[in-house]
Amino acid sequence: MKPKSSRFSFDQALDLLRRQGFDVAAHAGVAGGFLVRKSDVGAVLVAAPAGGENGAAAYAIAPGVLVRGELSRLVDRGYQKFLRTSQFEIPASASQLHAIHAFGEELSQLTGGISFYNESMGTTSDVYRYDRPVGRAASEPAPARPWEPAGAVGGH
């Protein structure tokens, strides 16, 4: 026999978050969204699609540190993670990354979400910007590929 699921509504999830010490308030930037925060970390939640497998709530804006009242996005540049807001970008500290990770895990657990392996290993970023900035031309031509026939472009 299949175990009975403990599904609850979005409103019940918000009430549970309030009882667990989260600040919950309507968020004007997202229709039907609620800013859920604890300490200096927050996220914007909306009701999950009906019949979804990932709990009562879904992220409209992923967890991030609140910087001057604005929810930041986490940007990974390969060598450093940054907190980006509409006005500036600052390097993220280890304590901020730990706070984002702990907040996301607690939020997922309380709303009935699924915990993914890569997310439980550490903080995941919203944006990844590795190697070469978009639009910058290569300073040198690509090296020859000995496995490609002469005159082939891109190996296709």
Secondary structure E strands in 7-138: 23-26, 34-38, 41-47, 57-67, 70-71, 73-76, 81-84, 89-91, 127-128
The pLDDT value recorded for residue 25 is: 93
Pairwise CA distance, residues 109 & 73, whole Å: 22
Instruction: Return the H-helix or E-strand segment holding 113.
Output: none
pLDDT, tens digit, 9 for 90 and up, residues 78-105? 788 899 999 989 999 999 999 998 898 8
Question: Cα 143 vs. chain centroid, distance in angstroms?
Answer: 36
For the chain, what is the mean pLDDT? 80
**CB neighbours of residue 44 within 10 Å:** 20
In terms of pTM, does the model score above 0.95? no
Distances in Å between the alpha carbon of 58 and those of 90, 98, 111, 134?
27, 21, 9, 30
DSSP class of residue 68?
A: T
pLDDT, tens digit, 9 for 90 and up, residues 107-122? 888 887 777 666 666 6
Across 17-23, average pLDDT: 94
Pairwise CA distance, residues 57 & 35, whole Å: 12
Residue 52, pLDDT above cutoff 70: no
Pairwise CA distance, residues 25 & 44, whole Å: 9
Q: How confident is the model at residue 3 (pLDDT cuts 50, 70, 90)?
A: very low
pLDDT, tens digit, 9 for 90 and up, residues 130-144? 665 566 666 667 777
Q: What is the dihedral of CA 19, 23, 29, 32, to 10 degrees?
A: 10
Pairwise CA distance, residues 35 & 67, whole Å: 14
Residue 148, pLDDT above cutoff 50: yes
The pLDDT value recorded for residue 118 is: 61
